[in-house]
Amino acid sequence: MRKLTPLVFLALLTACASPSDGPGAGSFYSAKDPRTGQPIPVTRLANAPMTPVTATPLAYAPNDPGLSKLYSGGFADTRLRKGDVIEVTILDTGEDGLFSSTQAKTLNLGRFTVDSAGSVTLPFVGKQRVLESSPEALQQKIVSGLKGSAVNPQAVVTVVDKPSSGFTVNGDVRSAGRFPLTARKERVLDGIALAGGSSSAASAASVTVIRGKQRATAPLQRVIDEDRQNVYLLPDDQVFVGKDAPSFTAFGAFKSVGEFEFEPGKMTLMQAFSRAGGLLDDRADASNFYVVRNQQVYGPVSTVNGIKGPAAVTTKPAIYRVDMNDVSNLSLMQRFQIMDGDILYASNSKMVDFAKLFTIYQKSAPTAAAPLPGSN
CATH assignment of the domain containing 222: 3.10.560.10
- Residue among 189, 159, 164, 198 nearest 178 (CA): 164
Domain end position, chosen among 161, 176, 201? 161
Let me know whether 250 and 331 are in one domain.
yes
Render the burial of 187-210: b for 16+ CB within 10 Å, e for the rest.
bbbbbbebbeebebebbbbbbbbb
Give the structural domain span for 132. Answer: 85-161
Render the burial of 296-307: b for 16+ CB within 10 Å, e for the rest.
beeeeeeeeeee
What's the pLDDT tens digit per position in 257-285?
999 988 877 899 999 999 999 999 888 88
Let me know whether 256 and 268 are in one domain.
yes
Residue 96 in any domain: the answer is: yes
Domain end position, chosen among 222, 243, 264? 243
What's the pLDDT tens digit per position in 291-345?
999 887 766 655 656 655 555 557 789 999 999 999 999 999 999 999 888 999 9
Q: What is the pLDDT of residue 294?
A: 87
What is residue 60's DSSP assignment?
S
Let me know whether 117 and 177 are in one domain.
no
Q: What is the pLDDT of residue 191?
A: 96
CB atoms within 10 A of CB 274: 12
Let me know whether 70 and 210 are in one domain.
yes
Q: What is the pLDDT of residue 8?
A: 32
Let me know whether 24 and 153 are in one domain.
no
Q: Considering the entire predicted model, what is its pTM?
A: 0.58
Q: What is the pLDDT of residue 7?
A: 37
Give first-to-last CA distance, the chain, whole Å: 47
Let me know whether 225 and 343 are in one domain.
no
Task: Summarize the confidence of residues 152-175 as an average pLDDT.
Answer: 89
Name residue 168's amino acid: T
Let me know whether 125 and 215 are in one domain.
no
The tally of domains found in the chain comes to 3
Q: What is the pLDDT of residue 105?
A: 72
Let me know whether 71 and 191 are in one domain.
yes
Let me know whether 192 and 317 are in one domain.
no
Cα separation, 353 vs 283, in Å, equals 9
Is the separation of the CB atoms in 287 and 329 below 8 Å? no
Let me know whether 263 and 334 are in one domain.
yes
Let me know whether 193 and 297 are in one domain.
no
Q: Does 170 or 148 have the greater pLDDT score? A: 170
Is the separation of the CB atoms in 208 and 242 below 8 Å? yes
Let me know whether 121 and 223 are in one domain.
no
Residue ranges of alpha helices (H) inside 171-289 are: 188-194, 220-225, 269-275
Q: What is the pLDDT of residue 240?
A: 97
Is the separation of the CB atoms in 139 and 155 below 8 Å? yes
Q: In the predicted model, what is the mean pLDDT of the chain?
A: 81
